[in-house]
Amino acid sequence: MSVMATAGTRLYSVLLTSHDGRPGTWLTVAADDLVDAMRRAREDAWWGEAAPGREPVRQVSAVECLGLAWH
């Protein structure tokens, strides 16, 4: 996977969990900080109410990918 990012942006692993708590989907998100990564993951058009057959996101968890950052 290729991720485009500007200088200073970091990579975060984000876990999206559906409303019933089933195991979720992991994403890699380029963002300025943890809150931005979680917001970007929640806004992805392929996940959530806008995507047919997908459950709404109930929980978003994110951790920084250690050692992966642009400087």
> Which residue, 33, 1, 32, 29, is CA-closest to 15?
29
Bridge partners for 17 per DSSP:
59
**pLDDT tens digit sequence for 2-53:** 455 566 678 888 777 766 667 677 778 888 887 888 777 777 544 555 555 5
Domains contained in the chain, CATH given: 10-69 (3.10.20)
**pLDDT tens digit sequence for 28-40:** 888 888 788 877 7
User: What pTM did the predictor assign?
Assistant: 0.54
pLDDT the model gives residue 12 = 82
**Between 1 and 33, the higher pLDDT residue:** 33
CA distance linking residue 68 with residue 18, whole number of Å: 27
